[in-house]
């Protein structure tokens, strides 16, 4: 089973890189990245579509018809439609979510963006998120692509992770540290 998982990761990376190279060559990188985000959002929001993708007994014809309808509805680029059709033909559409996530990461990396995760106990406004993003950009001398989540279990404070750097100012972490010191004493 682990061999199969490794194969899927490797395959997904190859397909993602191929899509990136094709999109860059055709000068449609930003449009295809938008198409990719739209399809990923559809996959995460539609349980039926997600189940259709994951179902191994669904025929290529049904997948192809579904993707053509979605492509027409979302007005996907021809290259992106052809890429999705190619995945269906090669029986790799099962990995489309992973391939598109990798593709978006490649695009972000090539633009020089750093990926940052932030969790806060308080629900932050868009203005506060923008200020944090700007501050991180200044501190790391790079563009920051921020993924924000609201996590009430933190009780208070923030947890910021950029690459291997983690800054945890949450009350939850401080309570855990205090508990450890009390147990050691």
Q: How does pLDDT run across 31-53, given as a tens digit for each residue?
A: 999 999 999 999 999 999 999 99
Provide the residue ranges of all domains of the chain, joining segments of one domain with +. Answer: 2-109, 114-184
- As a whole number of angstroms, the longest Cα–Cα distance in the chain is 67
The DSSP symbol for 156 reads S
Looking at residue 3, what is its pLDDT? Answer: 46
Overall fold of domain 2-109: Peroxidase; domain 1 (1.10.520)
Residues of the chain with pLDDT under 70: 1-8
Q: What pLDDT, on the 0 to 100 scale, is given for residue 6?
A: 52
Give CA–CA dist 44/81, Å, rounded. Answer: 19
What are the two backbone dihedrals, phi and then psi, of residue 117, each rounded to the nearest 5 degrees? Answer: -115, 135
Residue 5's pLDDT is: 53
Beta-bridge partner residues of 117: 147, 161
């Amino acid at each position: 089973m682990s061999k199969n998982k490794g194969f899927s990761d490797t395959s997904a990376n190859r397909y993602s890189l191929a899509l990136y190279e094709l999109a860059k060559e055709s000068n449609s990188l930003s449009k295809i990245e938008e198409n990719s985000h739209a399809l990923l959002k559809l996959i995460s929001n539609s349980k039926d579509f997600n189940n259709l993708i994951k179902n191994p007994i669904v025929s290529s014809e049904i997948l192809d018809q579904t993707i053509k309808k979605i492509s027409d509805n979302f007005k996907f680029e021809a290259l992106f439609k052809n890429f999705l059709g190619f995945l269906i033909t090669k029986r790799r559409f099962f990995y489309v979510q992973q391939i598109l996530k990798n593709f978006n990461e490649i695009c972000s990396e090539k633009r020089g963006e750093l990926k940052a995760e932030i969790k806060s106990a308080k629900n932050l406004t868009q203005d506060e998120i923008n200020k944090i993003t700007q501050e991180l950009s200044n501190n790391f001398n790079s563009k920051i692509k921020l993924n924000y989540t609201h996590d009430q279990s933190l009780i208070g404070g923030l947890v910021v992770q950029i690459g291997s750097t983690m800054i945890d100012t949450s009350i939850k972490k401080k309570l855990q540290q205090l508990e450890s010191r009390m147990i050691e004493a």
